[in-house]
Structure 1
Amino acid sequence: MAGAHTPGRGHRHGASPAPEAGVPPAGRGHDRRLVAWCLAALLVTGSALGSVNLLIDGALREGASRPVYVGTLCVGVLLALALAVRQRVGERATVALVLVGDVSYVVLAWATTDPLRYAPPLMLLSTCFVAAWFLGARGLAVHMTAVLVACAFVLCDSYPSLGALVVPVLASAGMLDVVTFGVFVLRRRVQRLLASTQELSSTDPLTGLANRRSLVDQSPRVWRQARRDGQRVAALVLDLDHFKQLNDDFGHAVGDEVLRGVSCALAASVRPPDVLARTGGEELVVLGLVSDPDEARRLAERLRRAVAGTGAGQDWRVTASIGVALAHPADGEDPVDALWRLVDRADAAMYAAKDGGRDQVQVAGGDVLPLPRATDGGRRRPDPAAGGTA
C-alpha cells in the first residue's frame, strides 16, 4: 500500500524511489512482459531475415560456416521461444540478450563471403533499438562499445589497410551509436514527462497529499493485503470544523495555510503504510489496515490531536471531526465500490461527530469518543454560532 504524501514534496511514505531508466519502469510485471514479447519478436524477425542468405548461392563460406550460421539463427529462435514462454525479463537479462545479439551478428558476418553485401553493420539496428529503448545508461554504454568492436571486426577483411578501415568503421558504428543514444535520450525524456504527469494526476496541488484518484488506485492493493493478512480495512474521514468561518474571518490565504499545516501534521502522524488523501475542500481520508476497532480509535485520536495542535502560536485555531468505519474485505467484491461504501459510512459517522459537538471521533456503529474541550489560551477562535458549513 502506498503511504502518504509529504506535503510540498510530492513523496509518499513507503513508496519506492523513481527508478533509474532501465526496463521501463524497472520491475513492474506488465512492463517486463512487454520487454519479453518485444525481444522475442525482434529475435524471430532477425533470424528470419538472416536466413535469406541461406538461399543465396555464394553468400556463405565453404566448410563449417554454414552449420555455424544455421546454429546461430537457431539460437535466436530458441531464445525467442524461451522469452515467449517465460513472458518476463529483467534488465540484466536484457543486457545479456543485447550482447548476445551483437555477438551473433559478428558470427553471422564471419560466416559470409562478403560482409559488406550479405551482413552489413545495418543488421545491428535491431539490437541498437532494443538497447536504446530498454537498457539503462551503463548497459547502453556497454552495447555502444560492443557495436564499435563488432563493426571493426566484421569490416577488417574488407579493406586493405588500417587507414582505409577507420573511416567506414567510424561511419557505421558512429551512425548506429548516435541513433541509439538519441533514441535513449528521447525515451528518458518521455519517461520523465510521464512520471511527472502521473505524479500531478495523483497529487493534490495545494497540500501535496494523494488525491481522490490516487485513493481509488490504491484500493485494490489495500483490499488484497487485508484479505491476505486477515485484517480489517479502516476508513477515517476528517473534516475541519468551522473551516468556512475561518476563511471568512481570516481570508482564503490563511485557509490554504491551515490546510497545508494540517496536511503536514497528519502526514507525520499516520502510519507509513496508510494512504492519506485530500478528497475535496477541507475533507481528508485515511485508509489503512487495523486488527480491531480499538486500533482504529487510537489512530483517529492521534490524528485528532495532530489537527488540534496545528494552530499553536496563531490567531486561529482549527479542530477536526472524525468518522471511522471498518470492513472485512470479501472475496470477489469490487475494491473501488467497497471503498466508497466504506467511506460513505465513515462520512456519516463524521457528521454524527459534528452533531455531537465537533472535535471528536465517532465510530460507525459504535460510541462517540468525547474529548476534553481545549481552552483558547488567549487566541482568537471563530465563533461556532457565526455559521459555516463545517
Structure 2
Amino acid sequence: MVRRASEGTPRLVWGRYDIRSLAVACAASGAVPLLVVALLVPSLVRPNGVWALAAVSVFTAVTVAVTFRVGVLDDRQFVLLGSGGMVGVAVSAFVIVDPALTMGVGAMLGVVPAIAASGSPRRITVPLTAIAIAAAVSVCIVETGGAVRLVAVGATITTVLVPTILMASLRSSVTAMTARLVDLADTDPLTGLLNRRGLTARVAVLLDQACSSGVPLQACLVDIDHFKSVNDDFGHAIGDDVLVEVAATLHAVAGPDAVVARLGGEEFLVLGLVPSMGGVEATILAAVRGGGTVTVSVGVARCTVVPSDHEVCDAGAAVDAVTTTADRALYAAKSYGRDQAAYVLAEPLPWAGAVRKDSLSFE
C-alpha cells in the first residue's frame, strides 16, 4: 500500500519506506544472484575470489539492514549505500569468470542512477551515474576482449544512461507540469493576479511577519466604479479589457512586498505591511484615474496581528476578517461619491501560525 505524504516529504511505501531507499536495498541485493552462482559453481570463481565475495555479502547485509531500519535514507546515506552496492555488484562480477554476466551487470548497475534521477538533485545523480558507468565499463574490459569489448562497453554505457536520462526527463516534465497546474489553480486567468486560493496560500507569510514584527497589516479593497455600466454600454469584451488594465495598474503601484489579488468581479485586494503600503491608496486612485477609462473606490483597513494561543490557524479566515472590515470602508467611499478612499481601523487579528516549510513566497 502506498501512502500519500504531505508536500515536501517523500512518498512512503508499506508505511515507512520510500522508493529511493527500497531501490538501494534492491541494488545492493543485486549481488546476491552472483553469490549464488559462485556457491553453486565454485569453478567459476577466480582464485582468492571467495574473500571478495564474502566482503560483498557482508556489505549487502549491512546495506539492507540499515535501509530497513532507517526507512527513509537521507542524501548522504543514499550516496554511500548506493555507490557501495554498485561497487559490490561490480566486484562480484569481477571474481566470477562468466562473460555472459556482462550485460546483466550493466542492467543492475543502472538501477541506482535511474532512481536517483527520479527524485534526487543533480549533484547526487551525476556522481552516481559516473560510478555506475565506471564500474560497468571496468567489468566489460575485464570480461571481454577484442571487438566484442567495444560492443560490450557501448551497450553497457547505454544500459546505464538511457534509464537515467529517461527518468530525469520524466521528472523534469512532471515538475514543470505540477508548477503549471499550481499556477493555474492560484491565479485568475483573465488578469493574471492571484485568485482567492492563491491569496490564502501566501497570506500566512504576511501574517507571520506582521505578528513577529508588530507592524500593522493594511488591506486595500479596490472596486471599479460603475463597472456594470461599462459592460452594458460597451460590451463584456471592453469590460474585460478594463479589468486587465486595472489589474496591471494595481500590480505596478502596489510594490514588490504586497500581495495583489482579484477577489471576483470588479473587486481587487492589495494586502501588505504598513511600511511599504503607506499612501498606496492615493497612488492607486491617481494611477487608475490617469488612465482615463474608469475610476475606482478604495476601502482601507489597518489592523495589528497579535500572537494567539490557538493551535489551529486559518489564513483564509484571516483574509475574510480583514476583507470584511475593508468592505465597510469601501461602502463608505462609494457613499461619499466614489473615486476616493475611506478608512477604518480593524480589531486586532489573533494569529498563532508560523512560517511552514511548504509556505510559498510572494515575491
Q: 1:296·1:324 contact (CA, 8 Å) conserved in 2?
A: no
Mapped partners of 1:185, 1:113: distance in 2: 37
Other-structure match for 2:360: none
Shift of the alpha carbon at 1:238? Answer: 0.7
Q: Of residues 9, 21, 27 in structure 2, which corresponds to 1:40?
A: 21
Q: 1:324·1:349 contact (CA, 8 Å) conserved in 2?
A: yes
SS at match of 2:279: helix
Q: 1:68·1:111 contact (CA, 8 Å) conserved in 2?
A: no
Other-structure match for 1:226: 210
Stretches of structure 2 lacking an aligned partner (at least 5 in a row): 1-5, 347-363
Can you list the C-alpha shifts for 1:157-200, whole angstroms capped at 9, x where unaligned? 322x2312222332233233223322322332222222222212
1:321 lines up with 2:301 in the alignment: no
Mapped partners of 2:335, 2:74: distance in 1: 55
Other-structure match for 1:298: 279
SS at match of 1:163: helix
Mapped partners of 1:80, 1:226: distance in 2: 44
CA, structure 1 residues 353+297, in 2 after alignment: closer, same or farther (shift >3 Å)? Answer: farther
Can you list the C-alpha shifts for 1:283-319, whole angstroms capped at 9, x where unaligned? 001122236xxx75523222222222222xxxx3323
Higher relative contact order (CA 8 A, sep 6+): 1
Shift of the alpha carbon at 1:42? Answer: 2.2
Range moving further from structure 2, 203-212 or 66-75: 66-75
Other-structure match for 1:153: 138
Other-structure match for 2:354: none
SS at match of 1:287: strand
Mapped partners of 1:81, 1:289: distance in 2: 48
Mapped partners of 2:56, 2:82: distance in 1: 18
Q: 1:304·1:322 contact (CA, 8 Å) conserved in 2?
A: no
Q: 2:186·2:197 contact (CA, 8 Å) conserved in 1?
A: yes
Mapped partners of 2:88, 2:270: distance in 1: 55
Mapped partners of 2:53, 2:242: distance in 1: 77
Percentage of matched positions with identical amino acids = 28
Q: Of residues 338, 341, 344 in structure 1, which corresponds to 2:318?
A: 338
CA, structure 1 residues 33+310, in 2 after alignment: closer, same or farther (shift >3 Å)? Answer: same
Other-structure match for 2:110: 125
- Give TM-score scaled by structure 2 length: 0.75
CA, structure 1 residues 289+34, in 2 after alignment: closer, same or farther (shift >3 Å)? Answer: farther
Shift of the alpha carbon at 1:49? Answer: 4.9
**AA partner of residue 64 (structure 1):** W
Shift of the alpha carbon at 1:127? Answer: 1.0
Other-structure match for 2:179: 195
Other-structure match for 1:237: 221
- Give TM-score scaled by structure 1 length: 0.70
Shift of the alpha carbon at 1:156? Answer: 2.7
Range moving further from structure 2, 260-269 or 219-228: 219-228
Other-structure match for 2:331: 351
Mapped partners of 1:307, 1:324: distance in 2: 20
Range moving further from structure 2, 267-276 or 167-176: 167-176
Mapped partners of 1:328, 1:213: distance in 2: 21
1:210 lines up with 2:225 in the alignment: no
Other-structure match for 2:288: 307
Other-structure match for 2:359: none
**AA partner of residue 317 (structure 1):** V
